Amino acid sequence: MSDHTFQSNKENWEKSVNKTLERFPERKESFTTSSDLEVERLYYPSEDETYEEKLGYPGEYPYTRGIQPTMYRSRLWTMRQYAGFGSAKETNERFRYLLDQGQTGLSVAFDLPTQIGYDSDDVMAEGEVGKVGVAIDSLHDMEQLLDQIPLDKVSTSMTINAPASVLLCMYLAVGEKQGVPLEKMTGTIQNDILKEYIARGTYIYPPKPSMRLITNIFEFCQQYVPKFNTISISGYHIREAGSTAVQEVAFTLANGMAYVDAALDAGLDIDTFAPRLAFFFNAHNNFLEEVAKFRAARRIWAKTMKNHYQAKNPKSWKLRFHTQTGGSTLTAQQPDNNVVRVTMQALAAVFGGTQSLHTNSRDEALSLPTEESARIALRTQQIIANESGVADTADPLGGSYYVESLTDQIEEEVNKYLDQINEIGGAVKAVEEGYMQREIQRTAYETQKKIENEEEIIVGLNQYKLDEEVNPDLLKVDEALEAAQIDLLEKARNERDQHEVDNALARLREQAKDRGANLIPHILHAVKVYASVGEICNVLRDEFGEYTGM
């Protein structure tokens, strides 16, 4: 590369910085350290053969150094704590508390019956209602959940997969009632079914019809809800199930490519849906490996989208991602130590250039977090953002010999897995054959053995143990909630126009049989007449069948 192009690329970056500053001025006039040393926007080599090819400038291809030209100097990442338990009313109170405390986005945890498309009164739901998240049966519950939360200002992320279409429609219906036009609604649905088969377990239908629902959502949103992130392709749960950092990135990107392929097969144009794809990664304890992992993931995705899929719009090349700190790294022993782990993991995510972040609460190995624990978790992010100074320059670790070498190595190892999955016939096929599941289980078992023979030290667990553990106060979900939720559902069923519901469900069933039809408008209609999550999903269960595992 000649000095000349190096200079002109740098000028390009500077131009895009100026454009960015018009829309997102930096948080301060100037950034300085405690010794009053000026902090530059970016540090980079004066001249380097491989710099632009491998790293480039922030906001420029291949985005190794981040997707925005000024990164957190303009806007901090979105602090988005995943929350939800019990009834819609209780969760609404927690949401409003978190927003009051300075949280900038919502993230909804649903209970397992909702995530698997069962109403609270289904026999399969027994004992699970409201336990790991909020129970949503009908639009009534969703209205209660979002009560007094302005959906034109707050973006909401919903951890919902198999019934993502139903919950998305409920969310849109509430927005409509608040008077927010569809094109202004922002948020994210997880909608990533492949990792459910691999690692998380809340699947309903077999892969083919599930992929259809996903592409239906892509198509619908591209047309009517263009600001909504239609999928959050998740490595988080793959990592929690026991994978390595390399496997996390490899399997996630492989799944991402499968969704792109499915959408292309359905006739969508790459540059219409690819900019709305979002990702979701984990942050574990090996600090610099995690930083390198995020940077490598961004570079691989950019290259794949640009070269393999020939996407033209730079927005299609950018891997935008949410990060959550690693739940499985937390210990039930000496739970306050988890605050330290979470801090380290959150820092790795920030050094890795995350767009939004959830920090786990210290008591999550014991139960759902208490309000106090959830607040400390949020404060952890706020301290990193406001006190550490790491957000004052873009990609501060870029150029570290170790980090760059790790970034290269991770890219190389990920590519080996991607080749392997390609040989099997793509991610859907690999999932069906159990390939990724086996790889993850092997790693999980090896990790357990290493911990038991103390090859891996976990502070407080296999070393530095305490004689007596103090039992912290834990959050309890009221056992009476299940019955109360079932009463609410019954009430909703009595108040609605049953004839309208029957018609809406019959129409949905008819359209489900037609493989070319987009089901979203029909689901939206059913939701608006107060058909329940279970009723809608049961229609699709009848038509699509159920996935039963390996």
Give contact residues for another protein (rule: CB under 8 A).
112-113, 115-116, 118, 123-128, 131-132, 196, 200-202, 240-242, 328, 331-333, 365-368, 441, 444-445, 448, 452, 461, 467-468, 471, 474, 477, 479, 548-550
The answer for residues whose C-beta is within 8 angstroms of residue 502's C-beta and 6 or more apart is none
Find the shortest distance in angstroms from Cβ 53 to another protein: 39
Shorter beta-carbon distance to another protein: residue 76 or 477 = 477
Find the shortest distance in angstroms from Cβ 332 to another protein: 4
Find the shortest distance in angstroms from Cβ 170 to another protein: 20
C-alpha to C-alpha distances, 547 to 204, 211, 253, 273, 434, nearest whole angstrom = 6, 13, 23, 27, 14
Shorter beta-carbon distance to another protein: residue 473 or 502 = 473
Alpha-carbon distance of 374 to 97, in angstroms, equals: 11
Find the shortest distance in angstroms from Cβ 326 to another protein: 12
Find the shortest distance in angstroms from Cβ 547 to another protein: 10
Give φ, ψ of 80 to 5 degrees. -130, 100
Helical (H) or strand (E) element with 58: none
Shorter beta-carbon distance to another protein: residue 127 or 150 = 127
Q: 217 with 230: CB under 8 angstroms?
A: yes
Among residues 76, 84, 74, 79, the alpha carbon closest in space to that of 357 is found at 79
Shorter beta-carbon distance to another protein: residue 336 or 423 = 336
Find the shortest distance in angstroms from Cβ 120 to another protein: 12
Find the shortest distance in angstroms from Cβ 110 to another protein: 11
Shorter beta-carbon distance to another protein: residue 66 or 163 = 163
Bond from prior residue into 45 cis (ω within 30 degrees of 0): no
Alpha-carbon distance of 230 to 504, in angstroms, equals: 24
Find the shortest distance in angstroms from Cβ 526 to another protein: 23
Helical (H) or strand (E) element with 401: helix 401-424
Helical (H) or strand (E) element with 109: strand 105-109
Contacts for 435-440 with beta carbons within 8 Å, 24 or more apart?
Answer: 436/198, 436/238, 436/247, 436/251, 436/254, 437/197, 437/198, 437/199, 437/550, 439/243, 439/247, 440/198, 440/199, 440/238, 440/241, 440/242, 440/243, 440/247, 440/251
Dig out the tokens for 16 from the structure.
Answer: 């895009």
Beta strands in 169-285 (DSSP E): 187-189, 228-229, 231-234, 277-283
DSSP 125-168: GTTTTTSSSB---SHHHHHHHTTT--TTT-EEEEE--TTHHHHH
Q: 56 with 299: CB under 8 angstroms?
A: no
Shorter beta-carbon distance to another protein: residue 282 or 333 = 333
Shorter beta-carbon distance to another protein: residue 337 or 400 = 337
Find the shortest distance in angstroms from Cβ 441 to another protein: 5
Residue 78, beta-bridge partner list = 356
Shorter beta-carbon distance to another protein: residue 116 or 357 = 116
Find the shortest distance in angstroms from Cβ 467 to another protein: 4
Helical (H) or strand (E) element with 505: helix 498-513
DSSP 16: H
Shorter beta-carbon distance to another protein: residue 312 or 438 = 438
Shorter beta-carbon distance to another protein: residue 174 or 477 = 477
Find the shortest distance in angstroms from Cβ 39 to another protein: 42
Shorter beta-carbon distance to another protein: residue 219 or 482 = 482
